[in-house]
Chain A
Amino acid sequence: MFSSLEFKENLDRFLSSPLLGNRRDFLSNGCPYTRPCRPQDLQAELFTKALTEQELDRNSYLAAQRMLNVIYEKDLVLLPTGKQKKLDINAYQSFYSSDHYRSGEVIREDLERHCFDFLNHEIQISGKWDIESFTAYCQQELDDIAQSESSLLKNLTASADPESATRFFLIQCAGDFLSEASAMGRNVLGNFGSHTSELFKVFIDEYGYGVHEKKHSTIFEHMMTDAELDNRLHTYWQFYTASSLSLINYFHYISKNHQYFFRYLGALYFTEASLAFTTKSQSKLVKQVFGGRVKTKYFDEHTHIDVHHGRMALEKIIMPVVKEYGEGILPEILRGFQEFAHLQELADEDLYRHIRTHDTLAELQEMASRYQAQEGAEVAEFVESEGELSVTHCHDVNEHFSVVSGEIDLVFSPHKRVKLKAGQAIVIPKGILHGSCVVSKQCTYRVTEYRGELCAS
């Protein structure tokens, strides 16, 4: 049950950290601790209920996923990496302070419910499962993935700007891949017999068996550099969609809460076994779009090693664990398998929706210019000064954004921005990530709900 007063007090305390406050730029400069969350938008009441799947385009979902990521990653050791390894000691101490940790832990459970409870309603598992029916079911699901056409390849190569679309995809991966398998580390501690060591074998592959150049996150860093992207963790924090964050956070959620350890095994199996197929098309996408300028070693490595990891997860971990602890744990393992598959599908669809919006910014401006708001419609007017930045967010409704005076940049990705001058407008579809930055001495703009037809996304 939502404990409102305690939650509210701790949410306010958590959000009062300067690390989560507003910024003057969209990219963090190599500091893994600055995580803007727009605290001014976040009242406790927004998080009182669990969202349904239809409500995942709300800003509260994005905000809750951002906060959860901060909370979970306090358990990781993060220091600046890359060219400029300057440590901001104040930010470091603030990020890892016990006060901030404590308030995060108090609000975590309610945020987890807000973000992940819908999975209990969207996925039902029943009946008497045994290892035979479990493997038959999972194999069928994986075969379907292996045989299906890659929607990623299809959607991104069909984009009006495939390079920008592919960079946006790599940015969505970055939050996870640049600290790859960190959540997994939570599960190799303790002692669950010989299975601990089997899981550890998968873990050490992810970590390059102690050779830093082989560590998966290092390989991904090189790929980011090749693609002319910053390879430091969370540089693109403001450009992670809620659905991308959900993929990172889900693994933390089921790994921090060891009551979900069996779900973790299922999610591990799904992700390892399916990546053996999906990374093939990811590699093909990068080759095709960048014409060989970007090395695809990261994806190619997974195409190879995840055949082993998928097999190891099933044969060396799940099957022996079930044999030892009984078939009663199978529905939980299957739940993890299916929940992560579901979140991955939602994240894919969300990515394509963002790419389609990026491709149709001109149409959205055209649509806005023709729109007449209904009489009496609520209109909010804002006056901001040069350099004032609105941290990225999304809206629960389609928004009509018009500039009265001055100039403002609307930013949809590091590579997609629209400059709006006095008299110009744009429609921002609900659930689409964006921010803004005033580029004239002063800018006055108005926002109102857009109730017209929307064909762009």
Chain B
Amino acid sequence: MRVVTFPVDRANRLMIEDKGYFVFKRQNETLCVPTECPHRGGPMHLAKVSDCGEHLVCPWHDNSFSCQSIRRKALPLVQRKGTIKVVAKAQNTIAFWNEDGIVSSL
């Protein structure tokens, strides 16, 4: 178990061992969720938000996933004072960085 700490404005992508995550902000909620689409591994961090605002649509095959189901896969996260802390079940490599244009429904 590791607590990964990073500033809100310095990172929205994480790699924990060999698994990718992105920081998804919607309304008054910040989630850290897997980038990999459960269908064929598409890049969910590049998804579009559905018109109703309650689903993410994968750019590869247009599969739609409810925010409710996405929330269930989110890593344990606390955001406070401009810092995000994520608890990862990993001892090894953890990297985080900022990437432009990822999905958000702020």
Contacts and interface: CB of A to CB of B under 8 A. Distances in A.
Given A122-B81, A126-B71, A132-B1, A137 B28 contact: no
Contact of B74 (A120, A122, A126): A126
Contacts of A137: 3, 76, 78, 85, 87
B78 A334 contact: yes
Nearest to A132: B1
A122 B8 CA distance: 13
B64 interface: no
A211 interface: no
B74 A342 contact: no
Interface string B65-106: 000000111111111110001110100000000000000000
B98 to A, nearest CB: 19
Chain A: number of interface residues, binned into ranges: 20 to 34
A11 to B, nearest CB: 29
Nearest to A120: B28
Contacts of B86: 127
Contacts of B87: 129, 133, 136-137
Contacts of B29: 124, 126
A127 B75 contact: yes
Nearest to B88: A133
Contact of A124 (B30, B71, B73, B75): B30
A154 to B, nearest CB: 20
Contacts of B72: 128
Contact of B77 (A126, A130, A342): A126
Contacts of B74: 126-128
A370 interface: no
B1 A125 contact: no
B56 interface: no
> Considering residues B72, B75, B80, B85, which has the most beta carbons from chain A within 10 angstroms of its beta carbon?
B80
A124 B28 contact: yes
B46 to A, nearest CB: 21
A126 B30 contact: yes
> Considering residues A121, A129, A134, A334, which has the most beta carbons from chain B within 10 angstroms of its beta carbon?
A129
A269 B48 CA distance: 41
B32 interface: yes
A403 B106 CA distance: 51
A123 B80 contact: yes
A128 B79 contact: no
A121 B72 CA distance: 21
> Considering residues A123, A125, A126, which has the most beta carbons from chain B within 10 angstroms of its beta carbon?
A126
B31 interface: yes
A125 B3 contact: no
25 contacts: A120-B28, A123-B79, A124-B28, A124-B29, A125-B77, A126-B31, A126-B32, A126-B71, A126-B76, A127-B31, A127-B32, A127-B77, A127-B86, A128-B76, A129-B87, A132-B1, A133-B1, A133-B87, A136-B1, A136-B3, A137-B3, A137-B76, A137-B78, A137-B85, A137-B87
Interface of A: 120-130, 132-134, 136-137, 140, 334, 338, 342
